[in-house]
Amino acid sequence: GAGVSQSPRYKVAKRGQDVALRCDPISGHVSLFWYQQALGQGPEFLTYFQNEAQLDKSGLPSDRFFAERPEGSVSTLKIQRTQQEDSAVYLCASSLGATSSYNEQFFGPGTRLTVL
Amino acid sequence: DAKTTQPPSMDCAEGRAANLPCNHSTISGNEYVYWYRQIHSQGPQYIIHGLKNNETNEMASLIITEDRKSSTLILPHATLRDTAVYYCIGTGGANNLFFGTGTRLTVIP
C-alpha cells in the first residue's frame, strides 16, 4: 500500500530563497509530524498536526519556518529566506490516531535541502 | 521525556544475535520505551515499544529491566539488511519523539 510520500526528494536553493516542501501522509491518518535531520544527527521534532490543527510548533527554529495542513491531509513546510544552516533532511511522518495514546509513526523518505 | 543513552556504534556478525543496549535511568512510570531504526537514506522505521513487560514481534524482542532503567533490543538473527542506526526513545506522548544520536549497527558478513 502507499506510504508517506514527500516531494521534492532533493532541493537546492540559493541563500535567501523561499522553499516549500510537500508531504502526503497515509490516507486517513489523523496525526502528521515534521522533523529536521542534520547530517550525522538524529531527527529533531519541528511541529505536529492533528487533522488541520497545528497543536505543537515548539520545534520550529525560527519564524522563517511555517507549516500548514489546511484540509487535514497534505501538509506543506515552508521556509522563507533560507540560510545555510537550514540545510538538512526534512522528514514527514504520519500516524493513525491522535496522540492521547501511542501510535506508530510512519515516515516518508525525506526531502534533502541544500542551501548554497 | 526521558533522556536515553546508547553506545555510538556496534558490530555484529551476520546470523548472530544483535543486542543493542539503552540506558534510560530517568524514565518515569508512564513513559514507554520505543525503538526505531533508520537505514541509510531512508526515513526512520518503527521496530517495537514497551512499558514494563518484555515484548516480541516479527522484527525484534525488547527486554526491559525490572527497575525500567535500561533495556535491550534484540535482533535474533542479524542480516546485512539490519545495518542501520537504531534509536531508543523514551516518551510519554508521541507528538515529540526525541531521537538522540542512536547506535550505528554494522552487520558484518
Residue-wise pLDDT tens digits, A27-48 = 999 999 999 999 999 999 999 9
> CB distance from A58 to chain B under 8 Å?
yes
Beta bridge partners of residue A90, listed in sequence order: A36, A111
Judged against a pLDDT cut of 60, whether residue A1 lies above it is answered with: no
Q: How confident is the model at residue A99 (pLDDT cuts 50, 70, 90)?
A: low
What confidence tens digit (pLDDT) does each residue in B17-59 have? 999 999 988 888 788 899 999 999 899 999 999 988 899 999 9
Chain B residues with CB-CB distance to A107 below 8 A: 42-45
> CB distance from A59 to chain B under 8 Å?
yes
Q: CA-to-CA distance for A97 and B92, rounded, in angstroms?
A: 15
**Average pLDDT score over residue span A90-112:** 86
**Average pLDDT score over residue span B77-94:** 88
Contact A45 B97 (CB under 8 A): yes
Which residue of chain A has the CA closest to B90?
A102
Option in A42, A55, A109 nearest B99 (CB): A42
Q: Which of B69, B66, B63, B28 lies closest to B49 in space, CA to CA?
A: B63
Q: Which of A53, A3, A49, A9 lies closest to A24 in space, CA to CA?
A: A3
Sign of the four-CA dihedral A105, A109, A113, B3: positive
**Average pLDDT score over residue span B65-70:** 91
How far off is chain B from A81, nearest CA to CA, in Å? 26
Contact A58 B96 (CB under 8 A): yes
pLDDT value of position B3: 81
Q: Which phi and psi angles does A46 have, rounded to 5°?
A: -110, -55
Averaged pLDDT of chain B: 91
Q: CA-to-CA distance for B104 and B9, rounded, in angstroms?
A: 4
Judged against a pLDDT cut of 80, whether residue B96 lies above it is answered with: no
> CB distance from B30 to chain A under 8 Å?
no
pLDDT value of position B85: 97
